[in-house]
Structure 1
Amino acid sequence: GYVWKTFREGFKKNFGQATILWIGAVLVGAFLVFDLWCCQFLAPLGAVRFFAFFLLIGAIFVYLLTIIYLFPLLAFFHVDTRKVIRDSFVMSVGNLHVSITILVIYGITAVVTYFFPMLFMFWFALGSYVASFFYRFIFYKYIKDDEE
């Protein structure tokens, strides 16, 4: 198909739902980062602070794993907001090795962009292109399971 026409139609169709998801993701991420900051600088030293710190790091890791699937899942499947959130969590945890690989790809993209900022659009496009193969692998695996 045509790239621009397909993008425009998908953008119009998913704008409202994607905006709600994005605002929710930013709020949850800000809450987790604020909690981590409070734990690090305001909590008294001791076992509780140590436990809370690692609990929050784990929550942020699960949050990042879930976030990386939200918008590709929304673009690939047309489902309601709750199902997108639930399915992105299930896919990220159920395919942990692929999810970590995608996080590493995005991390490398961020580091390369930091050192070569003039080509940031190229690096993000390249990172997204490479990650798309992993998303496609995961999504088709779930489509195949549904058909059977």
Structure 2
Amino acid sequence: MLRQKYSHKKATEMYLAGASPESVAKMLLEEGASEQEAPQLAAEYLRSFLLYQVDIQKKLLKRGSLFQTIGLVFTICGLVLSFLASISTDTNGSNIIFYGIILSGIGIWVKGFIDKRQSSDIISQVENSLASAEIYRAS
């Protein structure tokens, strides 16, 4: 059992470094797996690795959505406060202090947008890899 966990950990590290299922199967053969078992284990470990990567990216996708919401709230609050300050005072320069809130909100929203876009791209790449891993597993 410990040997299998070690092999799984080593296979995960190899996949993270960009190794192919064939090289992982070779490593499993060196670790004592049978010739029939090694390719199946390599495909299983690849599938597990890819599913884990999808979970990580989905969490980052949710975080990007949260940043977008926070940025939108900051921007709206800054605009409302700026508007209220401009109608409640005679000087037009007093609402300049709210521009920082507006710009911060826009910056946070843009960061969330970029994070969501990157996570979506990575999820689609990993899902394509997962589909090819299923093809590899079936053969």
TM over 0.5: no
Higher relative contact order (Cα pairs below 8 Å, separated by 6+ residues) = 2
Could you say which structure has the larger radius of gyration?
2
TM-score range, shorter chain: 0.3 to 0.5
TM-score, scaled to structure 1 = 0.33
